[in-house]
Structure 1
């Protein structure tokens, strides 16, 4: 099973067919090779697997997931103290 954290597209390099995405504050590059040309735009939320954007997701769903991840991280921090 694979867990993918929603990532927000911050930049697209059309020549290299890649996107820079922000995953909970961490920026990384992801390939757009598996996506239909022009289907991903800056500001979209996507799911990534092994360096490839696999699909685009709804902003509301992405924000809900990110909120849940934040809550899990806070609880884990509380447990460690």
Structure 2
């Protein structure tokens, strides 16, 4: 099962404008924000992440609600978090 997981943008990589660091439940990873170039993603924004790409911007309330729901999924959520921890975009 592949899930979209909310993450908070904590850093924009100035040398790679299509990349940003996000925090997902304490896990920080670099993701591609190129699909949201027209939305002007900033630090503090929440994005929905799927396979290393930010698919859409969401508000903080929606992000928190989604994270609470995802945590109830148990193994599927844990598998997705494990995949995120193991992922790398350099």
Is this a same-fold pair by TM over 0.5? yes
Q: Which runs of 5 or more structure 2 residues have no equivalent in the other structure?
A: 75-90
Q: Which residue is 1:58 aligned to?
A: 59
State which structure, 1 or 2, has the greater radius of gyration over its C-alpha atoms.
1
Q: Which runs of 5 or more structure 1 residues have no equivalent in the other structure?
A: 74-81
Q: Give 1:37 shift.
A: 4.6
RMSD: 1.8
Equivalent residue pairs, number: 72
Q: Which residue is 2:34 aligned to?
A: 33
Normalised by the size of structure 1, how large is the TM-score? 0.75
Normalised by the size of structure 2, how large is the TM-score? 0.68
Stretches of 4+ aligned residues off by more than 2 angstroms = 67-70
